Amino acid sequence: MIRNKYYCFFFLFYSIISFSQSIPIYKKSLIGNRIAEFIPQGYDKEKTPSLILQSEPVNMGSLPESWKLIPEFTLIANKASATLSLEGDVSLYGGGEVTGPLLRNNQSIKLWNTDTGAYSVENGKRLYQTHPWVMGVRADGTAFGILFDSTWKAELITNSDKIIYNSEGALFRVYVIDRDSPQAVMEGLAELIGTIKMPARWTLGYHQCRFSYDSEERVLQIADTFRLKKIPCDVIWMDIDYMDGYRVFTFDKKRFPDPKSLNDKLHQKGFKAVYMIDPGVKVDENYHIYQSGTKNDIWVKNPDGTEYHGKVWPGDCTFPDFTMPKTRLWWADLYKDFLNTGIDGVWNDMNEPAVNDNELPENLRLGTMPYDTPHRGGDYLPSGSHLLYHNAYGRLMVEASYNGIINTNPEKRPFLLTRANLLGGQRYAATWTGDNYASWEHLKLSVPMSLTLGLSGQPFNGPDIGGFLGNTSGDLWANWIGFGAFMPFARGHACAGTNNKEPWAYGEDIEKSSRIALERRYRLIPYLYTLFYSSHKTGLPVMAPVFFADSKDLELRAEEQVFLLGKDLLVIPSFAKDPALPSGIWEEFSLVDGDLKDTYQAKIKIRGGSILPIGKIIQNTTENSFDPLTLIVCLDENGKAFGKLYIDEGDNWNFEKGEFSLIEFTAQKKGNKVFVKIHNKEGNMDPYTILENVHVQVILNKKVYTGNGTLQNTIKVKL
Q: Annotated catalytic sites, by residue? A: 349, 352, 435
* Separation of alpha carbons 23 and 39, rounded Å: 10
Angle made by CA atoms 471, 474, 475, in degrees to the nearest 5: 110
Q: Which one, of 243, 156, 147, 246, lies nearest residue 193 by Cα?
A: 147
Q: Which one, of 445, 487, 575, 462, lies nearest residue 99 by Cα?
A: 445
| Burial status of residue 276 (CB atoms within 10 A of its CB: 0-12, 13-18, 19 or more) | buried
Please say whether the beta carbons of 592 and 555 come within 8 A: no
Provide CB contacts within 8 A for 657, sequence distance 6+: none
Provide CB contacts within 8 A for 675, sequence distance 6+: 667, 668, 669, 714, 715, 716, 717
In this structure, the chain runs to a length of 719
Sheet with 629-634: strands ordered across: 703-709, 694-700, 629-634, 610-614, 640-648, 660-670, 673-682, 715-718
What torsion do the CA atoms of 555, 557, 560, 564 make, to the nearest 10 degrees?
90
Query: Phi and psi at residue 489, in whole multiples of 5°?
Result: -110, 120
* Separation of alpha carbons 116 and 433, rounded Å: 11
**Which spans in 142-278 are helix H?**
182-193, 216-228, 259-268
Query: Phi and psi at residue 560, in whole multiples of 5°?
Result: -135, 15
Q: Sign of dihedral through CA atoms 262, 265, 266, 272? A: positive
Q: Cα 510 to chain center, whole Å?
A: 28
* Separation of alpha carbons 191 and 201, rounded Å: 25
Q: Point out which residues pair with 275 in neighbouring strands.
A: 238, 346
Provide CB contacts within 8 A for 221, sequence distance 6+: none
Strands 35-40 and 374-375: unpaired
